[in-house]
Chain A
Amino acid sequence: MMNRFDVTKKIKNLQGDKVLPQLSYAAMPAWEWQLKLGVERLRCGNPIPIIMDQIYAIEGDEPQWENLYTILTELFVNAMDHGVLSLNSALKNSAEGFGQYFDEREKKLNNVDTGFVHIALKRFNEKVGGKILITVKDSGPGFDVSDVMKKLDTMNDAERVYSGRGLKLVKHLCETLEFKEKGSLVEVTYVWR
């Protein structure tokens, strides 16, 4: 795959030693879109259908948006539950705890008075297909990223645990997955051909 630097180098070679003043167009997104929601709106529920409506409006109905819906939903729920609401997934490990988790979520959602989730998308054209860079930032303090990544790598799919499958889905569907800012920011790239 060609990145912006390869393209710049190519241009440079074509033009002898002369470096062109502008960077290649390949690095420029076809479009960018972002949404930052404060707690009042977050309380009203999942905003991903709104984002998908926008994408359908810009791009039309394409099969790759099904995966994107899953990726955005899982990343949003993580940002919301663990970032804004500080819920602990460990609760979901028992049958009783699983229900308790959602009761607590409801309670915390009604009482939370600060916080945000910021979702940003950059869509790039590729030679074949395309790519979307998705960034989700939440107002939470982050988490132990190395611990979560280790669990993600060692998790046995056939194991009958009730939680921890969201990130696994995202990892499976995305080309890259990276946590930044102590885990309060996640960046993934979704590529289709």
Chain B
Amino acid sequence: MTVKTNISDDKKVLTIVIEESFEFSQYQIFRDAYSEIDVIGIKFILDLSKAAFMDSSALGMILLLKDHADKLSGELIISKPSVMVNKILEIAQFHKLITIQR
């Protein structure tokens, strides 16, 4: 898998794109994508449109990102999860915790 990041010109939006699969083996790369960010009020967009698969560890990783966003009084949005990934988010009832944009 690949993790790509893109920060907006005004530094207020960080988009993290996950490609192929989103699983425990990418923990370090995923964390590195956001852990240095300390902009108050930052908006994280986690783009899962290209992630074909997600495991349960990735759910934990998303919660860690959500906690980081909360610490910065920012927000986390999950963007366009693929059908399979969305099913897993639904089973885990993540829509109760995080904004998911279909």
Contact = CB atoms under 8 A, between A and B. Distances in A.
B68 to A, nearest CB: 8
Contact of A102 (B27, B56, B88, B96): B27
Contacts of B92: 157, 165, 168-169
Contact of B56 (A46, A66, A95, A169): A169
Interface string B64-87: 101100000000000000001001
A163 interface: yes
B93 A158 contact: yes
Nearest to A102: B27
B93 A160 contact: no
Contacts, number: 63
Nearest to A162: B60
Contacts of A105: 24
Given A77-B55, A165-B60, 19 more contacts: A70-B55, A70-B84, A74-B56, A77-B24, A95-B67, A98-B60, A98-B64, A99-B28, A102-B24, A102-B27, A102-B28, A105-B24, A157-B92, A157-B96, A160-B67, A162-B60, A165-B92, A166-B56, A172-B91
13 contacts: A46-B25, A69-B53, A70-B88, A73-B55, A77-B55, A98-B27, A98-B64, A158-B93, A158-B96, A160-B67, A162-B63, A163-B60, A165-B56
Interface of A: 45-46, 66, 69-70, 73-74, 77, 92, 95, 98-99, 102, 105, 157-158, 160-163, 165-166, 168-169, 172-173
